[in-house]
Chain A
Amino acid sequence: GAVVSQHPSRVICKSGTSVKIECRSLDFQATTMFWYRQFPKQSLMLMATSNEGSKATYEQGVEKDKFLINHASLTLSTLTVTSAHPEDSSFYICSAGTSGGPGELFFGEGSRLTVL
């Protein structure tokens, strides 16, 4: 299957700092990428849809000023958690699809964020 790479896989930061997570499609171009968040023993919750060259679309309840998304190229989307707090500690996962198909998404390895 297609390869989506995420970096870093783990990050620990102090409360109040900002953290950037990168998501790259390695062998295909993705005009759209998706950012999910998963708390322990819970399902994946879609945070936002990242659109290349335009603003991201955020799901209801997700603060766009706190979770900044940039999709500057067809192979790279970034998620920046600004002024992180302990409650932002979670597993953040990006995904992308390879075609116009309805949803066969490939996921990055995930980034585990711990805010102290």
Chain B
Amino acid sequence: QKEVEQNSGPLSVPEGAIASLNCTYSDRGSQSFFWYRQYSGKSPELIMSIYSNGDKEDGRFTAQLNKASQYVSLLIRDSQPSDSATYLCAVGIGFQKLVFGTGTRLLVSP
């Protein structure tokens, strides 16, 4: 069974700090990886996608992928209280099919 593991948190960081969210996955053949943000009671919102080893930056967000270690992470620079949410790691298992982790709850304190 394909699995995606995340620490449930909460991860607490002060405003302005860097938040680091981690995810590991079991299927070595996975080729696509995604980070979604989900506010309480809302549906997920795509933040980043990454397909190749290395870093991918988009504004304050940086996704990092290491396929050899089966590890993907998300860094949020200059964290803001509005970033407080649950961050879901998702791995592609087929055409547009995703397996989600349980999510890491991030709390950014003013």
Among candidates B43, B49, B95, residue contacting A110 with C-beta atoms closer than 8 Å: B43
Among candidates B31, B96, B102, residue contacting A42 with C-beta atoms closer than 8 Å: B102
Query: Judging by beta carbons under 8 Å apart, are B51 and A102 in contact?
Result: yes
In angstroms, Cα B92 to Cα A101, docked, is: 11
Tally of chain B residues near chain A (CB < 8 A): 23
Chain A, residue nearest B1 (CB): A60
Query: Judging by beta carbons under 8 Å apart, are A103 and B92 in contact?
Result: yes
* A72 within 8 A of partner (CB): no
Query: Judging by beta carbons under 8 Å apart, are B31 and A102 in contact?
Result: yes
Given contacts A32-B96, A42-B102, A44-B100, contact A103 B42 (CB under 8 A): no
Q: Which of B19-48 contact A (CB under 8 A)?
A: 31-32, 34, 41-46
Query: Judging by beta carbons under 8 Å apart, are B42 and A109 in contact?
Result: yes
Residues in A with CB closer than 8 Å to B51 are 102
B residues near A (Cβ < 8 Å) are 31-32, 34, 41-46, 49, 51, 88, 90, 92, 95-103
A83-116 to B contact mask, C-beta < 8 Å, 1/0: 0000000000100010011111111111010000
Closest 8 CB pairs of A and B: A102-B32, A107-B43, A103-B92, A110-B43, A43-B102, A97-B96, A43-B100, A44-B100
Query: Judging by beta carbons under 8 Å apart, are B49 and A49 in contact?
Result: no
30 A-B contact pairs sorted by A residue (CB < 8 Å): A6-B43, A32-B96, A34-B96, A34-B98, A42-B102, A43-B100, A43-B102, A43-B103, A44-B44, A45-B100, A46-B98, A46-B99, A97-B96, A101-B96, A102-B96, A103-B34, A103-B49, A103-B92, A103-B95, A103-B96, A104-B34, A106-B46, A107-B43, A107-B44, A108-B43, A109-B42, A109-B43, A110-B42, A110-B43, A112-B41
